[in-house]
Chain A
Amino acid sequence: MLVILTGCNKNAENNIKKASAMGEYFGTVLTITLYGADEKQLNQLILESFSECERMEKIFSVRLPDSELSVLNSRAAREPVMVSEELGDVINEALYYNEVSGGAFDVSVGKLIQSWGIGTDNQRVPGKEEISELAGKNGCQYILWNAEKHTIQFTDEYVQLDLGAIAKGYAAGQLKQYILSQNNKVCGIIDFGGNIVTIGEKQDGKAWNIGVTDPFEPSSVYASVSVKDMCIVTSGNYERYFEQDGIRYHHILDPKTGYPARNGIVSATVIGADSMACDALSTACFILGVEKAMNLIEKMEGIEAVFIDDYGQFHCSSGMEQFYFQKR
């Protein structure tokens, strides 16, 4: 675990103190920044949040061979496996987003993700036959949930769950709840590898100004939004990818084709109160393409989105003006 305390300072005018630290969880960097009256308590809250995150990683990670998810993946094709309440809840949410997105959001593609190996030592472009075989045998219809017994079973041996597109969102939401349960007067930002969860409003009562990365130049900002107590999650093709023969192969796979999604969107940003919903929907929208994604977002209550297309043009959902979206 990498934990870096990035410093504390206080605003002399109103005696508000700031504490910030970063750690490594779920294969990415988690940065928590809190503002409040008691610096010692802020630091303590951050460290406790990191412990909470470590606990959740042991449930949802596919990288940890002894996580609850890894154990489920190794057994569920043979027999029903009883799962914890948290794992059951997240899988059920994943099944819901699979349904509303018409199959674009699909957590059953674990084997396909492994086959591509994007971001690992084994990244490669799998053969056409391999891809069509794997893509054809995935699907959430092969995941059987028994609510009474709280068990999961896979009815196809090719199914392997990968919750990478939803678990981080769940974890960030849980961290926010935990922090507020300990002290509901703090405000701040949980930045989980670029998934932003804002806690309340800024100390001065103003909204948080959050930038949206420029997908064509990732160290620059394409646009900004102003939010209070909201989550902003972006899925893009610019962070995790490899190139071969001049083609970029990014990590967001289209479950229907088995290849990295290429449906016209290079960055999908979703804003809403529920971090898990934003996480799942940003991936789903990226895969769906502008038109279908916009139809989906317009049906979701309390959710707004902005998509940047292949040509650098942006497309905002109907309620985006409440967040003062500004192109930079």
Chain B
Amino acid sequence: MSVKKRAAVVTAILTLLLVLCIGIIAYGKLVTVSGKYAYIYQDNKVIQIIDISNVSKPYQLRIEAPGGGYNLIEVRQGSIGVVEASCPDHMCQNMGFITNSLLPVTCLPNHMVITIENDAEEPLDLDDIAY
């Protein structure tokens, strides 16, 4: 085999290996399930964990507060928020729908906090949010 042919074969093998490696990495990323979970806390205890990465149809759930109040929570694909609450300030509602771990939804009168955690550890380009 001539030097030219040998070089061509080596180049072809290396190219094939490179394509194979890229394919394996891409496939690995595709099959990784990026779970995004909302944690609902009440008085320092997790009372519900909701997978918000697979919500085919939005739904609502009502969280009763120990003191008699309530928060009506709506779960959507990739986000969660409070749509109705008994608290006087309605700050939990004003917060809107959160989509990442940087902003929690808090309802201090009803001692309820919602946070989002992403088990895929998707890197966020922000470290915190001023509000």
Contact = CB atoms under 8 A, between A and B. Distances in A.
Contacts of A314: none
Interface string B97-119: 11100111010100101010100
B90 to A, nearest CB: 7
Contacts of B127: 189, 198, 202, 208-210
A219 B88 contact: no
Interface string A214-255: 000111110010000000111010111110000000000000
Contact of B113 (A22, A191, A221, A269): A22
A67 interface: no
Contacts of A37: none
A218 B131 contact: yes
A244 B110 CA distance: 24
Report which residue of A4, A31, A194, A240 has the largest number of chain B beta carbons within 10 angstroms of its beta carbon.
A4
B108 A219 contact: no
Interface string A180-196: 00000000010100111
B91 A240 contact: yes
A56 to B, nearest CB: 18
A213 interface: yes
A242 B89 CA distance: 8
Interface stretch (A45-53, A69-77, A117-125, A288-296): A117-125
Contact of A213 (B90, B117, B130): B130
Contact of A233 (B125, B126, B130): B130
Contacts of A3: 44
B126 A219 contact: no
Given A191-B128, A224-B126, A123 B88 contact: yes
Q: Which among A2, A3, A195, A219 has the greatest number of chain B C-beta atoms within 10 A?
A: A219
A212 interface: yes
B128 A219 contact: no
Interface string A1-29: 01110110000000000000010100111
A109 B89 CA distance: 20
27 contacts: A2-B43, A4-B44, A7-B117, A22-B113, A29-B106, A121-B88, A123-B88, A189-B127, A191-B128, A196-B129, A198-B127, A209-B125, A209-B127, A210-B127, A211-B128, A211-B129, A212-B130, A213-B131, A218-B131, A219-B97, A219-B98, A219-B99, A221-B126, A224-B126, A234-B130, A236-B131, A239-B131
Interface of B: 41, 43-44, 79, 81, 88-91, 94-99, 102-104, 106, 108, 111, 113, 115, 117, 125-131
Given A3-B44, A242-B90, 17 more contacts: A4-B44, A4-B113, A22-B113, A24-B108, A28-B108, A29-B108, A31-B104, A121-B88, A195-B130, A196-B129, A211-B126, A211-B130, A219-B95, A219-B96, A224-B125, A224-B126, A269-B130
